Structure 1
Amino acid sequence: MRGRVRAAELVGRGWLNTGGAQLRLGDFRGKVLLLDFWTFCCINCLHVLDELRPVEEEFSDVLVTVGVHSPKFRHEADAGALAAAVERYGVRHPVLDDPELTTWQAYAVKAWPTLVVVDPEGYVVHIAAGEGHAEALRRVIGEVVRVHEEKGTLHRGDGPYVPSAPEDTELRFPAKAVAVGGSVVVADTAHHRVVRLGGDGETVLAAYGTGERGRQDGVAATFSEPSAVAVLPEAVAARVGYDLVVADTVNHLLRGVDSATGEVTTVAGTGEPWRNGPTSGKATEVDLSSPWDLTWWEPAGGVVVAMAGNHTLGLFDPVAEQVSRFAGTTVEGLKDGPKEEAFFAQTSGLAATPERLWLVDAETSALRYLDTAGAVHTVVGKGLFDFGHRDGDAAEALFEHPLGVTALADGSVVVADTYNGALRRYDPATGQVSTVATGIAEPSGAVVVDGELLVVASAAHRLERTAVAVQEVVGEARQVVRPTTAIAAGAFTLDVVFSPPPGQKQDDRFGPSTRLEVTSSPPELLVSGAGESTDLRRELVISDAVGSGVLHVVAQAASCDTDDAEHGACHLTRQDWGVPVEVGAGGLARLALVLGGLDDQA
């Protein structure tokens, strides 16, 4: 309740989920307004969508959530692509289309996702970045409701959400496919099931899952937005009693499927997203984080899992029933080297060969591979803010948010270049990238069946046989339009702002309740101050010899309920920032990133 900052007007290209109504800030007077700044490429934003569902239900008569969609990639600025994403991810509140980041800048947002609570009189009362804020939001909203009910400024009743009717198709936003004999098994994501199709890619032979969102095991199983399926080697399947492993993405689980009986069992994950804590141990006792793809890789002796949610690779051993971290540090970025030190960025596609584990990192638009010696190499990709559609030498080639990669028999790989609507081929023998097909509606994967390439055209809701015609595209290099932050060289203060919500406090009884990790790209941007600490304030020294770069900041904080001092629950919030900066005279000497609360020095 400390701040009395008037909320800015909501300005954009138009609105979705309102039945055509064009809304303004004044239309929400009398309601608690929750602004969710998101973009549909961002895995943390997708986590928040799911975290908000129970909060929205609990406060349904007083709270209106508005998703402010401020795109990162060019494709996300397309109105049709946004409408598809709103359906794909089950968004059940109004969405403001903000392609020019007008409202983003009016609220001084620095990261996806950011949440802003506006009271019934139109004042900003709480800001939070990242995920894990559900309990804090309950307390903040509850306090706002109490205050404004007493003042008589709270109005109860329905909000302006108007649902749209999705088209009836056999598949809905399928994500990945895998060949099983002469058939194809597909993750039918928006239908919350897994489907076996004939070799034609159309005829449904079997379905696993009822089609309802959930996490029930058994023959009448339920999934929540499954994204991928892996096939176990026959000898392994015989030992464990299931032959398919499903990346049950929104449930943060791996599920085993006996394709002969249809029996589904949970084989890894707790159902909670990983934010801190163990990264190895008994598979069903270790948190996972949005498993997006998975594949058996013989050199690893198990199923490698693309943990898109925390920018790592996991390893699942189905025989030992163990999970471990296989590669990555949880820092989002593009850094090669030993797999334990490498940075990944929302790895979303995997393809295994005996010598290499190929992968695509969606957020850095990168094609990379892991060799059998445990080293990570980048073939295509320049960083978090660089993308495009450019063929030729791999060192200069560009993708835009690729989600899939497929190994071909000739040693080359095909990349599902999702936001370019294209299939791209990389040939390690020549080091060249070429475009082999265009005009595909958000391809998210491909599979070879009987010598033919079937492409998962996710936004067209089908698998397609694509004519392969090699062409060369020499497109422009592009960068994310997100505004940079001007900072000064020399002594520089980084403040991560965090205030526990009403009814909670930071609890240091069992050690520090906060953690801060700071790195930069390039590393030379920071003369000093990189590394980890438990203090949310960090004194940095910025180089005057590096004109621009990215500050990578990972922060987390735990706060505990005060209504039960001995047994009160604790809640962990976490956010990864990649802040593009320009260094020069007149720039800021202090940067505040709000993890939760309000910046008193603003």
Structure 2
Amino acid sequence: MASQSSLSTLFPIQSELDSALDEATTQQEKEDIVNEYLKKLDERDDLKIPDFQTGLEWLNTEGPLSLNKELAGKVVLLDFFTYCCINCMHILPDLHQLEEKHSAKDGLVIVGVHSAKFPNEKVLDNVRSAVLRYDICHPVVNDSEAHLWHDLEVSCWPTLVLLGPRGNLLFSLVGEGHRERLTLFTDLALRHYGAQGLLKTHTVGIKLYRDSLPPSMLSFPGKVAVDKRRKRLAIADTGHHRVLVVSSTGELLRVIGGPKSGRQDGDLSEASFNSPQGVAIKGHTLYVADTENHLIRKSQHHRWSGFSRHRQRGGALGPQQPISSPWDVTLGTAGESRGGSEDNVLWIAMAGTHQIWALFLDDGKLPKGSESKAGTCVRWAGSGSEENRNNAYPHKAGFAQPSGLAAAPEEPWSCLYVADSESSSIRTLALKDGAVKMLVGGERDPLVEPFCFWGSRRQRVDAKLQHPLGVAWSPEQSLLYVADSYNHKIKVVDPKTKQCSTLAGTGEAADTAGPEFNTSCFNEPGGICVGDNGKILYVADTNNHQIKVLDLSSKTVSLFPISTDCTDSVPSKPTKAPTLPKSAARKEMPPVVVSAGQTLVISLTLTLPEGTKLTEEAPSCWTLSAEGNEWLLDEPVVTGDIMDLSKPLSISTKLPAVIKDLNSHPNLTLSVWVFYCMETGTTCMMKAACFTQPLQISADPKEEEITVALAHVF
């Protein structure tokens, strides 16, 4: 019986193949070289690998798979990955392409072998969430203790291992960017063993977990951002490949993209994204890190930057500049803007190249750099190597998959805070000179242990984070909030004292605990932002498919509700009055006598409950209509906003100069929608009321205004 082998046996053999392929100039030469290589492997019996251990957890299958049973007679591609790794994400499109080209009946089966880097990644539910999030449709085995990883002597993520129909080693590819060679190896292996009659056409039982899930409003929301002036939220609904814009009360204002992935500019009905993450919103402008399309997108859905995984310096304009897996964005200022405006730059956490980039929205320059024209996208910090290296020179510093950004431009901070996920640290990037320093997390000697992580000790490097993905700066409190994703907690850092402590979350990946900070639960929260002048936090609780609101005064956590109806398509001048809710208060007023050409003024006093205030950013409004007697008004429906209740609303309308039917008894209908919230809390309520005002038409003309006083207490 042949002994079982590992990659150390294969590497010397394949190195000769790789060298020959590098020198080949034509496709036919490459195919001939690979075919000869496969013939030589047929003569060896020392390349069979060990089977999967029994008792392992499997996903997307009807049961466990074995190289000696279900996978016998198949060419098997093993993808050794861990779900946090950006390079592992980059090869998923290559695997999807192979799956579309070759089915199990053709003889190819792809198996994902999940070998965890962090303790959190060993948990089956977390791996299952990642399989759903990345739309992986092939079998995945949770090799939580890395048995097969060690048996084959795999050394890094991602590693691809192609096996023949006897479970024998054929090829190995390490890292990303091998699509052409992977396709060549797979195609020729299928052809080689198919010609020998060694491939079997049976199917492998696939059972996708996603098919059993009910629909949800959000799917793996990655990031959330606040427009502080207009008090709206932008939510990256990553799993639905779209971005939502909502009011602070949860009213759905705009839906861009989704539900399927795509790469299309255009209006709301045409635009599409592929797993968007970072969002930044200001006024009518929205910026989106379209992560898996390797683009930065802008409101109106025009493309600013393009696709590549190889350029690491930048300097090109707009779509001509290749970028790689932008994970977060935030607005800021670099140097002096020629137009004198603030926010002349969009900072980008470029996870794919382990760098921080700058996209200039106006002419400006980086510290100690040359002038950059509007639209230029350049690297600011990071060598491009994946490492945890601090340095006074930004280009010599090293990041490890930066995934969250927060700007703190005010003195004495004057920096960008960076959630450096793979080094499990929070870093600072000085706005004055680009110096990169450690704030909390990581390791005292990162060259010895670049991937340091764990729980919740509280100070500097002793504050162990585990794959943080989001940071949010509160200038009102001078505090930094952190989405400590794999610890399932929200933490707070005082940058002055370097103290880091848990703010909310038990550390259990769940959504079943109580509403208080110390009993609340999250599941890999990936995004966080500060709202209401530092009083609340919005958290993208990614694996719970929710946005949560943390009230910093009451220390409670609540679910942020999002309406299912979008108001984006409502015309500015409606042709009929909107429908009132059934709970609306309704009052019919005594008739009032009016004449042709007379101006009628309705004075409406509204009183809110004690201890509440009008929600300024919510769409409180009124409408005046005359259903069935539209001739009374200049427009079918007259509308107005309610901005201030300290004095009565004054709504006036002038009757037509000529009224043909003096015997008519028309009605005017005044409807109001009022949003208000507690002065000390974040809960917002909506109440509606409707007033019917009958009119009696008089033949005697009158020029003076007539005023009707109405009042309502909510």
Query: Do both proteins adopt the same fold according to a TM-score greater than 0.5, normalized to the shorter chain?
Result: yes
Aligned counterpart in structure 1 of residue 550 of structure 2, from 446, 466, 473: 466
Whether contact under 8 Å (2:471, 2:529) holds in the other structure is no
Provide the secondary structure at the position in 2 that maps to 1:363: helix
- Which residue number corresponds to residue 411 of structure 1? 478
Distance in 1 separating the partners of 2:165 and 2:552: 56
Distance in 2 separating the partners of 1:264 and 1:69: 36
**Structure 1 segment 527-542 matched on structure 2, within 5 A:** none
Aligned counterpart in structure 2 of residue 356 of structure 1, from 394, 404, 415: 415
**Structure 1 segment 67-466 matched on structure 2, within 5 A:** 67-156=112-201, 158-164=203-209, 165=211, 166-180=213-227, 181-200=230-249, 202-219=250-267, 220-231=270-281, 243-257=285-299, 263-270=300-307, 273-276=308-311, 279-299=314-334, 301-319=344-362, 320-337=374-391, 338-354=393-409, 355-371=414-430, 372-380=432-440, 381-382=442-443, 383=446, 384-408=450-474, 409-438=476-505, 439-450=521-532, 451-466=535-550
Provide the secondary structure at the position in 1 that maps to 2:462: coil
Whether contact under 8 Å (1:455, 1:463) holds in the other structure is yes
Look up the equivalent residue of 2:352 and give its one-letter code: G
- Give per-residue Cα distances to partners, 1:80-99, cap 9 Å, x unaligned: 11111110111110001100
Shift of 1:285: 1.5
Whether contact under 8 Å (1:18, 1:162) holds in the other structure is yes
Look up the equivalent residue of 1:316 and give its one-letter code: L
- Give per-residue Cα distances to partners, 1:143-182, cap 9 Å, x unaligned: 1112111110112354433222233110100011111222
Distance in 1 separating the partners of 2:415 and 2:75: 52
Provide the secondary structure at the position in 2 that maps to 1:22: coil
Whether contact under 8 Å (1:436, 1:468) holds in the other structure is no
Provide the secondary structure at the position in 2 that maps to 1:45: helix
**Is the deviation greater in 152-161 or in 139-148?**
152-161
Shift of 1:469: 9.3
Whether contact under 8 Å (1:228, 1:294) holds in the other structure is yes
Whether contact under 8 Å (1:116, 1:128) holds in the other structure is yes
Provide the secondary structure at the position in 2 that maps to 1:378: strand
- Give per-residue Cα distances to partners, 1:26-78, cap 9 Å, x unaligned: 22112110000000110101111122111221112321100000000011011
Shift of 1:277: 7.0
Distance in 2 separating the partners of 1:468 and 1:278: 41
Q: Give the number of the structure whose alpha-carbon radius of gyration is greater.
A: 2
Distance in 1 separating the partners of 2:486 and 2:345: 31
Distance in 1 separating the partners of 2:95 and 2:321: 23
Shift of 1:296: 1.3
Whether contact under 8 Å (1:191, 1:212) holds in the other structure is yes
Provide the secondary structure at the position in 2 that maps to 1:395: helix
Distance in 2 separating the partners of 1:363 and 1:117: 28
User: Using a 3 Å threshold, how does the CA distance of structure 1 residues 388 and 470 change in structure 2: closer, same or farther?
Assistant: farther
Total equivalences in the alignment: 454
Whether contact under 8 Å (1:111, 1:129) holds in the other structure is yes
Whether contact under 8 Å (2:108, 2:190) holds in the other structure is no
User: Using a 3 Å threshold, how does the CA distance of structure 1 residues 405 and 123 change in structure 2: closer, same or farther?
Assistant: same
Provide the secondary structure at the position in 2 that maps to 1:340: helix
Provide the secondary structure at the position in 2 that maps to 1:443: coil
Provide the secondary structure at the position in 2 that maps to 1:373: coil
Provide the secondary structure at the position in 1 that maps to 2:193: helix
Distance in 2 separating the partners of 1:69 and 1:138: 22
RMSD: 1.9
Shift of 1:265: 1.4
Whether contact under 8 Å (1:230, 1:294) holds in the other structure is yes
Look up the equivalent residue of 1:440 and give its one-letter code: F
2:65 maps to 1:23? yes
Query: Percent same amino acid at aligned positions?
Result: 36
If each structure's strand is expressed as a fraction of its own residues, which one has the higher value? 1
- Which residue number corresponds to residue 553 of structure 1? none
Distance in 1 separating the partners of 2:478 and 2:417: 11
Look up the equivalent residue of 1:264 and give its one-letter code: H
Distance in 1 separating the partners of 2:428 and 2:251: 34
Provide the secondary structure at the position in 1 that maps to 2:93: helix
Aligned counterpart in structure 1 of residue 111 of structure 2, from 66, 80, 84: 66
Give the structure-1-normalised TM-score. 0.73
Shift of 1:449: 2.3
Distance in 2 separating the partners of 1:399 and 1:78: 18
Provide the secondary structure at the position in 2 that maps to 1:454: strand
- Comparing both chains, which one has the higher relative contact order based on Cα–Cα distances under 8 Å and sequence gaps of 6 or more? 1
Provide the secondary structure at the position in 2 that maps to 1:389: coil
2:49 maps to 1:7? yes
> Where does structure 2 lack aligned partners over 5 or more consecutive residues?
1-37, 336-343, 363-373, 506-520, 556-714
Distance in 1 separating the partners of 2:477 and 2:191: 66
Distance in 2 separating the partners of 1:246 and 1:137: 32
Shift of 1:468: 5.0
- Give per-residue Cα distances to partners, 1:244-263, cap 9 Å, x unaligned: 11100001111111xxxxx3
- Which residue number corresponds to residue 516 of structure 2? none
Shift of 1:317: 1.6
User: Using a 3 Å threshold, how does the CA distance of structure 1 residues 399 and 278 change in structure 2: closer, same or farther?
Assistant: closer
Look up the equivalent residue of 2:439 and give its one-letter code: V
Shift of 1:278: 5.9
Whether contact under 8 Å (2:415, 2:429) holds in the other structure is yes
**Is the deviation greater in 93-102 or in 390-399?**
390-399
Shift of 1:467: 5.3
Distance in 2 separating the partners of 1:213 and 1:174: 15
Whether contact under 8 Å (1:436, 1:469) holds in the other structure is no
- Give per-residue Cα distances to partners, 1:493-539, cap 9 Å, x unaligned: xxxxxxxxxxxxxxxxxxxxxxxxxxxxxxxxxxxxxxxxxxxxxxx
Shift of 1:455: 1.1
Look up the equivalent residue of 2:481 and give its one-letter code: V
Whether contact under 8 Å (2:312, 2:379) holds in the other structure is no
- Give per-residue Cα distances to partners, 1:81-130, cap 9 Å, x unaligned: 11111101111100011000001111110001000000122211000110
Give the structure-2-normalised TM-score. 0.62
Shift of 1:314: 1.4
